[in-house]
Structure 1
Amino acid sequence: MENIIIINASPRAPQSNSKKYAEIFSKHSRLQTEYFELNKRNQDELINKIEEYSQLLFVFPLYADGLPAPFLDFLKMLERALLKHKPIVSILINCGFIEHSQNDIAVEMIKLFCNQNEYIFGSVLKIGAGEAILETPFKKLVEWKIKKLASSICTQEYKTLEVSMPISKKTYISKSTEYWVKYGQKYNVSKEEMESMKIE
């Protein structure tokens, strides 16, 4: 029986946008679906569970143009694990940049892992403006693409998908700056302090 395990590899998984994306995927998945959040305490447990599934979906944010450090550590452990059954690996990745292409390097890192460890690489959805898009009218675009991702994994017709806000980069920067300035004001932090390289 085809089934899928979703692993949220965000460092802040319980409060992450990755969790929200995983929930949308689960709603549209036609396979038996289970969701887990990666943390330091459950890495061995998740590696043992992976063998029980035919499909594996990693959901995570872009960190410094690559994979979050805890996720990298998990992949190193998975590399050493002698699994008898390896599921097909798909990705749902989001970044704060408006360009979904900013996710490309991280996707290539997962593809390299798969190639070097004999995992089949499945589908990928690259989301731009991932920190903001769910709070806008463009949320429907994301839901539509996640539904397509779920369908591609179910039918095993694997593909590369992408989505972002259909607005200009200039508008996106202007609106995001406005958001962060207001956010800083809530904690008595000025725009100048946020722009400073000084860390207390």
Structure 2
Amino acid sequence: MGNVLILNGSPRAPKSNSRQYAEIFSTNCQLPSDYFNISKNNHAELCQRMSEYSDMLLVFPLYADSLPVGFLNFLKHLEANPPKRKPVVSILINCGFLEHQQNDIALKMLRFFCRKNGYRMGSVLALGSGEAILGTPFRYVAVRAVKKLAKSVGSGSYRTIRATMPLNKRLFLWAATYYWTWYGKRFGTTKEQMQTMKIE
């Protein structure tokens, strides 16, 4: 029987949506799993642990159409310090855009990394609206998709899964504007201040 190493590559891992997705995955996967946040100081430890697992799930948010820089630094360390036994690599990536295909460039980067370094690719879950969906009535869409991911990794029947909120772009834009305007007010920031290109 295999096991899964879950690594959270979010810059705010302890309080991130990625952590919530990892918890849903762990609860629904038939394989035992261990969860770790990627930090600046644990790259060597995580690379050493990797040999103990049949599968690895990388969970992270999209940052500027790419990977978070802390996660990139971990991959650089992993490339230079590969485990003796390489796990199958599965991916759960979420973006704040409605369109799940916004994740495609980052996914290509990871597929290239795996191909170059001899890792077998497993399942992929690309989530659109992943930054917001867990706090909406459409939470079930994300949970259902993560459950499908967990089942595929647990059974070794790897596949690609895509999901997002069932909203049109106009409605999604309205909802996002409302949310961020409300969020800004909590910290004394106006909508106009958030729209400016000036950085203090």
TM interval, shorter chain, is: over 0.9
Q: Which amino acid aligns with 2:156?
A: Q
Q: Is structure 2 residue 133 aligned with structure 1 residue 133?
A: yes
**In the alignment, what sits opposite 1:6?**
6
* TM-superposition CA deviations, 1:97-127 (whole Å, max 9, x none): 0000000011111100000000000000001
Q: Which amino acid aligns with 2:110?
A: I
**In the alignment, what sits opposite 2:186?**
186
SS of 1:97's equivalent in the other structure is coil
Q: Which amino acid aligns with 2:183?
A: Y
**In the alignment, what sits opposite 1:115?**
115
Count of aligned pairs between the two proteins: 200
SS of 1:137's equivalent in the other structure is coil
Identity of aligned residues (%): 52
SS of 2:52's equivalent in the other structure is coil
C-alpha RMSD over aligned residues:
0.8
Counterparts of 2:99 and 2:51, CA distance in 1: 35
**In the alignment, what sits opposite 1:21?**
21
Q: Which amino acid aligns with 1:151?
A: K
**In the alignment, what sits opposite 1:39?**
39
Give 1:171 shift: 0.4
Give 1:82 shift: 3.8
Structure 2 residue runs without a partner (length 5+) = none
Counterparts of 1:176 and 1:85, CA distance in 2: 44
Any runs of at least 4 consecutive aligned residues in structure 1 with deviations exceeding 3 A, and if so which?
none
Give 1:83 shift: 2.2
Counterparts of 1:64 and 1:10, CA distance in 2: 13
**In the alignment, what sits opposite 2:58?**
58
Counterparts of 2:169 and 2:72, CA distance in 1: 30
Counterparts of 1:153 and 1:184, CA distance in 2: 39
Structure 1 residue runs without a partner (length 5+) = none
TM-score, with structure 2 as normaliser: 0.98
SS of 1:58's equivalent in the other structure is strand
Counterparts of 1:145 and 1:186, CA distance in 2: 32
Matches within 5 A, 1:151-162: 151-162=151-162
